[in-house]
Amino acid sequence: MKFNDLNLSDPITRSLKDQGYEKPTPIQTEVIPAILNKSDVMAAAQTGTGKTAAFVLPILSMLSNPKNNYKGHQLRALILTPTRELAAQVRESVNTYSKYLSIRSTAVYGGARIHNQRLKLRKGVDVLVATPGRLLDLYNQKAVNFKNIELFVLDEADQMLDMGFIHDIKKIANLLPDRRQNLMFTATFSNPFRKLAKEMADKAIEISVTTDGEAGENIEHYCHPVDKSRKAELLIELIETQNWDQALVFTRTKHGADRLQKQLEKVEISAKAIHGNKTQNNRMKALDAFKNNRVKILVATDVAARGIDIKKMSQVINFDVPTVAKDYIHRIGRTGRGGDKGKAITLVSADEFRLLSDIEKLLGQKLERVEIEGFEPEHVVPAKEKQKPKNKKFHNRGGFKNRRRSRKG
């Protein structure tokens, strides 16, 4: 399949040529015709599969004909994203692919001045990318008018649900015209996602290029057992001995991300941290410095990093094992892209063993344990889960306690 077979308008195929894209990715091949056919679509695709272009390209193609009765504050396509970074990134894609079209677009999100955003919306835009909270603020200030919306997109819908945006999404959906096309993108078809999708568009075409437990086959996974107190030291050792040019490192908490950044800088390894407590400007700058190779290590929390497009990461490091197994898949989605080999390395301490087991169950594979000389843990990380005791009489302490309690009562 070639882009020319997809019936996208000419200015768009020209912009794709400029980007050097040779052919559509699998998600694009399936989603683009469905959108151009005016269907509602729900699609499961992770970051890195080309899913942004899968909805941006047909939307631009459909909006190529300017509307004559175009009025102030109005929009034609509304794209909701969970995070500010993702909103800015999707807007950038809209800009890239619409360079030969006269399409107006902007992005609005929290952490930036609302006044400037109001001004940009005054004359109306064709495509608005927004985070839900800021969009509702702007709506309440009468800075946007939803009357002419033709297309409504939820990007990373499952993350928006995880982040508690369900009420905002429903509120926004209720303000939109009934006659609209709904496009819903999610990393996984979780139950809460399905419920929302059914409410929004019960006849949506379902497209999936991934399954819940799937992780890129060209990714090599392994873990280093290590005592918790020595993780930073081990990370520094790996950075210094393994010739990584850059690495994306995940921590569980914002505080942990800041602490690790400081520890790296102390030994003159350039590092930046991104998480929810940093200002928007700060996060953008850090991301930019990393993308342009001015810093070696980007330390991120899960929420800050979801959906961010960082090209060709050779390795992703889990400094902490994620508490939700699915987050492992999201994290490592940033390595091994487009056929490149990637590494997913997890530093695991004994107390994280159960979380590691959950990930192994989801992946359907065991992560190889590789001990690093000089860092062998004092608190041993088991190779596999202990068998559950068969003979309850000798092992079921809870049962014994309960029996005693009932006898007393």
Residues that bind ligand AMP (CB under 6 A): 21, 24-25, 28, 47-53, 309, 311
Q: Which is nearer to ligand AMP, 51 or 252 (CB)?
A: 51
User: Are 250 and 316 within 8 A, CB to CB?
Assistant: yes
CB 28, min distance to ligand AMP, A? 6
Task: Report how far residue 40's alpha carbon sits from residue 292's, in angstroms, rounded to the nearest whole number.
Answer: 38
User: Rounded to the nearest 5°, which phi and psi values hold at 182?
Assistant: -105, 130
H or E element that contains 33: helix 26-36
User: Are 357 and 385 within 8 A, CB to CB?
Assistant: yes
Q: Which is nearer to ligand AMP, 27 or 356 (CB)?
A: 27
User: Are 139 and 146 within 8 A, CB to CB?
Assistant: yes
Q: Which is nearer to ligand AMP, 36 or 136 (CB)?
A: 36
CB 209, min distance to ligand AMP, A? 11
Q: Which is nearer to ligand AMP, 17 or 266 (CB)?
A: 17
CB 32, min distance to ligand AMP, A? 10
The tokens for 297 are: 């290590």
In sign, the C-alpha dihedral spanning 79, 81, 83, 88 is: negative
DSSP state of 334: T
CB 7, min distance to ligand AMP, A? 16
Q: Which is nearer to ligand AMP, 13 or 49 (CB)?
A: 49
CB 183, min distance to ligand AMP, A? 14
CB 283, min distance to ligand AMP, A? 17
Look at residues 21, 80, 127 and name the one whose alpha carbon lies nearest to residue 8.
21
Q: Which is nearer to ligand AMP, 221 or 306 (CB)?
A: 306
User: Are 43 and 51 within 8 A, CB to CB?
Assistant: yes
User: Rounded to the nearest 5°, which phi and psi values hold at 220?
Assistant: -95, 120
User: Are 106 and 138 within 8 A, CB to CB?
Assistant: no
CB 343, min distance to ligand AMP, A? 19
Q: Which is nearer to ligand AMP, 47 or 117 (CB)?
A: 47
User: Rounded to the nearest 5°, which phi and psi values hold at 43?
Assistant: -135, 135
